[in-house]
Each structure stands twice: as C-alpha cells, then as structure tokens.
C-alpha cells in the first residue's frame, strides 16, 4: 500500500493497525471439521482465505485433512471473493459459487438467493476476525440452520507507536487523506484514540482530512464512527483505490476544507450540503462561472485546454450510482431533488469534468400533458396511453411547466453545491424525439406510428408538436432561472428521418423551441445535438443553437468545415471506444483533438452517452487525456 502511494506521487504514513491471531482454542473448528466429514452440512460459506487455510490446518493437525477436503468437495461452497478461492485451489478444490466484487456480505446473500437457496439448508459460515451477525441473521431469516465457525480474531499490533503517530499527525493537520482498507482498521484506530483520550480530537481533525474507503464494508464502519467517506473506488482493490484518489484528492480535499471553513459539518455531510460562500471567503480566491472553460468554449473564446464532459456521465457504469438505483426506481431518482443532485455532483467529483448535466430524463415533460409514463425493466420508458390519431390528441393537456418543479429544485441544489467555475447544463428532448415517444408508446426501431401520423395526418402531428414545444419553452427557461448555465436539446431519434421530412416536420418546431429560449435568455448557450444522419447537419444548424453536437458517425473536421468554424461544436468520440485499452482510448481521443486543430469553440464529448458496460476508470482516463493532450498557452 505504501509503495502504491509513492508510485502515484504521495507520501505514505504507514500505520499497521491489525493482525490475525488464532483463537486460544480451536474446539468449535474441530467440531465443525468432524461434522462436515459426517455430512452434517449442505453448504459451507468461506469468508476469507486465511480462515479457509486455518480450517485445513485444524483438520491436518487432527490427521483428517484428506477426509475434510473430500467433504468440502461434496457440499456446496460459497467463496467470498478471490482469497478463499485461492485457498481452496491449494487443496485441489474449486468453489461452487464465487461472490463477485465488491464481495460484501450483501453480495454474498445475492449469490445465495440466486444459486444456493438457504431454505431448509444446514449452512456453516467460516467467520473472520469478528462475527458478522447481520449475515448470520439474514441466512436464518431465509430458513437456514446456521452454524458460525470462528477460527481467528483480529488483534492490535504489538507495537502501537506507528498507529499513535498517525493519529497525532491527523490531529495536527499533517495528513491530507486517510485511506481505509478494512472495517477493523477503523475500529482499532478509534480504540487506540479512546485509550489515549484523543477520540474527540481525532473526529474534529477529520473535518479537514479526506477519508477514502476501499469498499462498502469499510465505508459503513467509517460512518458508524460518526464520519463521512469522501471517496470509494468503483473497483474495490488497492491499485484503483490509490490511483483514483491520486487524480481527485486535491480537488476533493480543497472542497472539504472550504466547506468546513464555511460552517458545514464535514463529518456528517452530503455533496448537496456543500457551501462555496461563507465565513471562509476572505481567505479564498473563489472562481466564478466567468472562469468556466466550458462556457468560454461555447462562446469560442480561447481556453487553456479543451473542456470535456460526457453524456450520461452519471449512470449505471458507476458502482456508486448502481447502489443508489438499487433502492429507488428511475422515476423516484428523477423526482427526488436531493438524489438527482447527488448523482449529478458525484459524476463531477469522480471524473473531474468541466461541466455537470442535471440528472433527469427527457420524458418528464410528458406527464404534465396527461401521458402515463412508466419505466419497465428491460424495456425502458413505456407510455400506455399514446397518441395515434386525432381522437387521442383531444385528451392531451396543455401542460404546466410548474409541475416540473422537482427538476428546478434539483438544479438549484446542484448549482449551489457545484464548484462555481463548473458549468451546469439543463436539457430537454427535442420536439421530434419527445413526440415520437408519446406516439410510439416507447422505444421503436422504425418509428412507424410517428411517420404514419406525419404523412397521413400532418394536422394532428403539427398540433401535438405545437402543444409540446409551448411546454418545453417554459420548461427550458425555468431551468435557466433555477441555475442552469447552459442547455442542451437532445434529438436522439432524428437520424430516422431524411432531410426533406426533417425540414418539413421537425425543423420548424426545434427552431421555435430554441428561439423561445433565446428570446428570454439570449446569453445562455444552447447545444443542439442530433444523432444518426450526418446529412441533417445543415438543417440542424438552421434550426438553431449556439453549439452543434456531433455524433460519432461524422468526421469532426469535415462537419466543422461544413458548419463553418464560427459555429462551436461538441463531440465526437465513438462511445464504444471506451471499451478499448487505455492506449487505444488515448489514440482515439487524440484523433478527435487533432481534427479540431486546437481552434476555439470545441467541446470534447462522446458521440452519444456512456454505455453501462464501460469500465469507470476508462471514462476518468479519457477526461485526463483530453485535458493533458489539449493543454495550450492562452
């Protein structure tokens, strides 16, 4: 761990805090060995590699190693991650099931539920340094007859001086980040601090010290001691843990200390609690939105590097996002301002991008119009009362943008907590894409119902678009008034149209939307982003927008030349490139930057949103590469 910290440019303060000690008596382990050999168990849960080896050692000492190993091979074995897997391999066995990362006890229960039902089963759990009563109780709740098998315990090291020195340096303000790799570490740190009468001083000092936890169990223990974890890696291993903190710790620590100076209790805070203004202002040189490289690029002003943000930068590719989504639906996430703001801010904290985009969905506008919107697993958004003919349109309401106040509240919370020089983007779906959802009733591969309405009943199509755009103009203007610095119009389905149909059925409505925004907020940049058909680009430009978004299907240099270099552009790396190796990602990013030739007005982005399967470290690496390779003197 210390070597990793040095490798990434930090100064390690090594403080051993725990060790593994065999129990004074192995009576319970011996009883388990005999019972397993006598076929008394159906399932054995192995929580650690050390414990698995110790059990084999107990059997070996009793002359029963071969019988014990054979018995393990007969039952269902559940290994919590790679370490017990390695221990089993040493005796020639493979586990029946392996708990995937991050290897928490909750992940273990998911494996049990999916593959090794506990109901009416005799389950032995090899324990580690302390009993996990939550796991044991959960297995019993599922109908298992559970036998815990303690084999070793965690103890403090014999020499406590390094740990005491680390505690003193934290209290003295000589530490930037404290990195926690296990729950027991946290307990032992506070045990020693309590013994020395320094626990309160330590908690107070942590208000200005960043805390990183390698995984959810360690993070939960940190919170149990009255502190907040400032960073968890997406991959719960040491190398990504240190690497990710190396790239983000300076910004995260500065933010935490500014918050503390401004009166925020940083031992118990959320991202939305951040305050950039307050008592600490006198000692700070605070940036403003005027310093935003993103906003400058939207105006084609010179910038020190190409700004970058990523569509869907808050999403399922991130473990922290998936954990939030595990307890709420997508609608609940969109409708809860604190949660929407949290995931918006989280993406900025983790990636170091130059703009945030508020977490919401393009279809929230359809509910005030009377459409029933649901999100079904595996199907996405579904509208069960679509408009297919004139009689359907008669029940469509005008829509009141005030019904979308939860979006504005999320914007207000995000703008207050977001670093002042990071731009906040609001958005809506373009009229065609949004209208097509309410006509199709959900996703479509051929847009049959939408095109049929355009061709067969253009009067109803025009009426639907007029009603929708009237609401969207109010909605987008309200987003600016709630704190959005820029706006984006997503026409994700425009590529289904040819130029003539786009010009006749779509362009007038998109133009009316953008004109309606600019009439009220002329200084707010609007990004017009359409995908799928490069032949539409001249018409997209004609429909309005300060910045034209480019998807990956078009050459950036050719597209920018055709639009005119006086028009800022955004794009356009193929999202699939993020599945490639880091070297290839860097090469592909450089190709995009080379096509932009460093001229003012380029905002780097993907040609569409990040896919859920992208390794999160690849997204972060792309952001760093763009900043590094585009750096220039201005």
What are 436-457's pLDDT values in tens digits? 999 999 998 899 999 999 999 9
The one catalytic residue in 437, 447, 475, 502 is 437
Cβ distance 266 to 260 under 8 Å?
yes
C-alpha to C-alpha distance for 325 and 140, rounded to whole angstroms: 27
CATH topology of domain 20-155: Rossmann fold (3.40.50)
> What is the average pLDDT across 192-198?
97
Q: Active site includes 169?
A: no
Average pLDDT taken over every residue of the chain: 94
Residue 285 pLDDT class (50, 70, 90 cuts): low
Residue 284 pLDDT class (50, 70, 90 cuts): low
pLDDT at 118 over 70: yes
Cβ distance 49 to 86 under 8 Å?
yes
pLDDT confidence of residue 500: 97
Residue 63, preceding peptide bond in cis (omega within 30° of 0)? no
How do residues 532-551 score in pLDDT, each as one tens digit?
A: 999 999 999 999 999 999 99
pLDDT confidence of residue 283: 46
Q: Active site includes 316?
A: yes
pLDDT at 279 over 80: no
Residue 281 pLDDT class (50, 70, 90 cuts): low
How do residues 142-166 score in pLDDT, each as one tens digit?
A: 999 999 999 888 899 999 999 999 9
Cβ distance 190 to 227 under 8 Å?
no
> What is the average pLDDT across 65-84?
96
Q: Active site includes 60?
A: no
**Interior CA angle at 160 toward 157 and 165, to 5°?**
140
Q: How many CA atoms lie within 13 A of 224 on its CB side?
A: 12
The one catalytic residue in 80, 243, 257, 312 is 312
Residue 102, preceding peptide bond in cis (omega within 30° of 0)? yes
Residue 297 pLDDT class (50, 70, 90 cuts): very high
Residue 498 burial class via C-beta count within 10 angstroms: exposed 0-12, middle 13-18, buried 19 and up: exposed
C-alpha to C-alpha distance for 67 and 131, rounded to whole angstroms: 27
Residue 527 pLDDT class (50, 70, 90 cuts): very high
φ, ψ for residue 26, nearest 5 deg: -105, 30
> What is the average pLDDT across 331-343?
97
How do residues 598-618 score in pLDDT, each as one tens digit?
A: 999 999 999 999 999 999 999
C-alpha to C-alpha distance for 212 and 618, rounded to whole angstroms: 20
Give me the residue spans of the domains in the chain. Answer: 2-17+157-283, 20-155, 289-629
The one catalytic residue in 361, 485, 546, 551 is 361
pLDDT confidence of residue 154: 87
Residue 562 pLDDT class (50, 70, 90 cuts): very high
CATH topology of domain 2-17+157-283: Rossmann fold (3.40.50)
289-629 matches 2-17+157-283 in CATH topology: no
Residue 532 burial class via C-beta count within 10 angstroms: exposed 0-12, middle 13-18, buried 19 and up: middle
pLDDT at 179 over 90: yes
The one catalytic residue in 142, 316, 388, 416 is 316
For the chain, give the percent of residues with pLDDT over 90: 88
The one catalytic residue in 122, 223, 325, 412 is 325
Q: Active site includes 325?
A: yes
pLDDT confidence of residue 634: 79
> What is the average pLDDT across 105-111?
92
Domain 289-629, classified CATH 3.20.20.210, yes or no: yes
CB atoms within 10 A of CB 584: 12
Q: Active site includes 299?
A: no
Residue 566 pLDDT class (50, 70, 90 cuts): very high
């Amino acid at each position: 761990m210390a070597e990793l910290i040095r490798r990434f440019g930090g100064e390690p303060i090594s403080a051993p805090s725990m060790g593994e000690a065999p129990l004074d008596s192995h009576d319970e382990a011996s009883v388990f060995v005999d019972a397993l050999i006598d076929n008394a168990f159906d399932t054995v849960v192995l929580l650690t590699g050390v414990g698995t080896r110790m059990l084999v050692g107990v059997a070996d000492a009793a002359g029963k190693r071969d019988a014990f190993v054979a018995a393990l091979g007969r039952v269902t074995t559940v290994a919590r991650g790679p370490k017990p897997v390695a221990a089993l391999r040493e005796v020639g066995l493979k586990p029946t099931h392996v708990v995937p990362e991050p290897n928490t006890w909750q992940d273990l229960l998911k494996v049990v539920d999916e593959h090794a039902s506990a109901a009416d089963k005799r389950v032995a759990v090899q324990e580690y340094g302390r009993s996990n009563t939550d796991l044991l109780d959960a297995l019993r709740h599922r109908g298992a007859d559970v036998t815990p098998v303690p084999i070793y315990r965690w103890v403090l090291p014999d020499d406590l001086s390094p740990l005491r020195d680390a505690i003193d340096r934290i209290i003295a303000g000589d530490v930037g980040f404290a990195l926690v790799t296990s729950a027991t570490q946290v307990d032992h740190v506070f045990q020693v601090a309590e013994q020395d009468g320094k626990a309160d001083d330590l908690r107070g000092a942590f208000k200005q010290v960043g805390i990183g936890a390698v995984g959810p169990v360690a993070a939960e223990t940190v919170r149990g001691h009255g502190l907040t974890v400032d960073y968890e890696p997406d991959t719960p291993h040491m190398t990504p843990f240190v690497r990710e903190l190396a790239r983000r710790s300076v910004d995260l620590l500065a933010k935490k200390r500014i918050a503390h100076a401004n009166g925020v209790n940083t031992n118990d805070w959320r991202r939305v609690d951040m305050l950039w203004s307050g008592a600490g202002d006198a000692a700070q040189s605070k940036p403003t939105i005027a310093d935003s490289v993103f906003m400058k690029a939207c105006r084609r002003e010179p910038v020190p590097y190409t700004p970058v943000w990523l569509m869907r930068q808050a999403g399922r590719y991130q473990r922290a996002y998936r954990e939030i989504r595990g307890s709420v639906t997508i609608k609940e996430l969109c409708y809860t301002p604190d949660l929407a703001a949290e995931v918006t801010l989280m993406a900025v904290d983790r990636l170091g991008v130059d703009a945030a985009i508020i977490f919401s969905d393009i279809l929230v506008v359809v509910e005030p119009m009377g459409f029933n919107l649901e999100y079904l697993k595996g199907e996405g958004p579904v509208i069960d009362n679509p408009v297919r003919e004139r009689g359907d349109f008669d029940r469509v309401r005008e829509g009141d943008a005030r019904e979308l106040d939860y979006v504005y509240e999320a914007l207000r919370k995000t703008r207050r907590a977001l670093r002042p020089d990071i731009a906040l983007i609001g958005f809506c779906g373009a009229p065609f894409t949004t209208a097509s959802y309410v006509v199709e009733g959900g996703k479509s591969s051929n847009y049959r119902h939408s095109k049929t309405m355009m061709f067969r009943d253009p009067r109803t199509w025009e009426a639907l678009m007029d009603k929708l755009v009237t609401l969207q103009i109010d909605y987008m203007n309200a987003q600016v008034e709630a704190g959005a610095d820029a706006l984006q119009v997503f026409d994700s389905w425009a590529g289904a149209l040819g130029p003539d149909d786009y010009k006749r059925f779509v362009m007038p409505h998109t133009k009316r939307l953008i004109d309606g925004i600019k009439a009220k907020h002329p200084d707010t940049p609007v990004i017009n982003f359409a995908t799928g058909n490069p032949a539409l680009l001249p018409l997209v430009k004609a429909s309005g927008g300060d910045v034209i978004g480019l998807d990956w299907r078009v050459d950036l240099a050719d597209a920018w030349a055709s639009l005119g270099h006086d028009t800022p552009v955004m794009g356009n790396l193929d999202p699939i490139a993020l599945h490639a190796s880091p070297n290839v990602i860097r090469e592909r990013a450089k190709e995009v930057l080379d096509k932009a030739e460093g001229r003012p007005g380029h905002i780097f982005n993907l040609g569409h949103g990040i896919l859920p399967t992208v390794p999160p470290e690849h997204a972060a690496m792309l952001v760093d590469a763009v900043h590094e390779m585009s750096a220039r003197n201005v």
